[in-house]
Amino acid sequence: MRCRSCSLLELPRARQLEDKEQHARSLVPATTWLPSVAGPDDGFRNKAKMVVGGSSSEPTLGILDRSSAGVDLRDCRLHSPGLADALEVVAAFITLAGLSPYDVALRRGELKHVLLTESPDSELMLRLVVRSTADEARIRKHLPWLLEALPALRVMSLNIQPAHAAVLEGEREIVLTEQASLPMRLAGLELALRPQSFFQTNTLVAEALYAQARDWVGAIDPGTVWDLYCGVGGFALACMAPGRPTPRRVTGVEVSVEAVAAASASAPPGVTFVSADATDWALAQPGPPDLVVVNPPRRGIGPALAGWLEESGVEHVVYSSCNAQSLAEDLAAMPSLRPLEARVLDMFPHTSHYELMVLLARGDDSGQVHPAFGT
């Protein structure tokens, strides 16, 4: 294998899933385990993160080997067919525009990474991570060719990352197209993805993720919901209840200003998005909602937020985790919130990583939980 990222590629998929289920069950004592969501074996990734190597006349898009030479991975079988086809056009554009790949050893050149995202509607967002704006005029000059050669391209931007460091992207973004966000329509939701926003890399499994949240929240029927670490608002929008006699009030909280701007642009009545640190914001509120959704990064929600949830009196928590170990540590800090139902979603096939969703309900002193899902 030229790339070692998919460490389980040689292991049968059924065995991969079985091992993930066993790992999850060993860490989370849920009362009920729902059937796991697997998704396809190949062609599931909606985002390509490619290091640019080689030369402008013969660029490589993939990774760098130990000697910092480019290794081309345009044929990676994990990418969707749309991404694979588009990467060929992007490579041709690099040659046409004369963009020089960044040479790590010599610390010269401009183009560092190609970040390409495909929406469920097969539309594309392309981000070129560059060292400076030195090639901006040249890229703009040849942009009409790229838009004609790649008609699915809706958003293109330059991300400026000047540091000689293993950092994927920088803070500054220059949008080159009239359209600045990519519509992401899935699971009955319409989200908007801006260049520096996070979105799950496996579209079909992401649909199952939001559908599961909708089912749990619908059964509980809370009047107020917080979606902490909300990203572009997937869980927040999944938690809406359009036909409810009294509209459900949903608040999404996310530290990324770009993600909140994208979510707020199309937020329906009753849904509000706030740019803030999730823990700081929650601790500053006068009281809890009826239900909290948390979808933190791998480190988990941490002691401060877990402690607040434990003491807050909130009745239900939907916890979506990409790290079962940190989830287990957070659950230990919230003993009053007990895992009723759990589900493994294989967001990252051929690796040891997976998404784990858990519905937590507050129990009383006798060990009984509140009755949304029985006792």
Q: 338 with 368: CB under 8 angstroms?
A: no
Radius of gyration of the chain (CA): 22
Q: 350 with 16: CB under 8 angstroms?
A: yes
Residue 118 is which amino acid? E
Q: 131 with 156: CB under 8 angstroms?
A: no
Burial pattern 354-366, b for ≥16 Cβ within 10 A else e, equals bbbbbbbbbbeee
Residue numbers annotated as active site: 322
Distances in whole angstroms, Cα of residue 320 to Cα of each of 54, 188, 367, 370: 40, 19, 24, 21
Q: Which of 325, 316, 315, 318 is nearest to 343 (CA)?
A: 318
Q: 74 with 88: CB under 8 angstroms?
A: yes
Q: 177 with 154: CB under 8 angstroms?
A: yes
Residue 252 is which amino acid? G
Q: 174 with 134: CB under 8 angstroms?
A: no
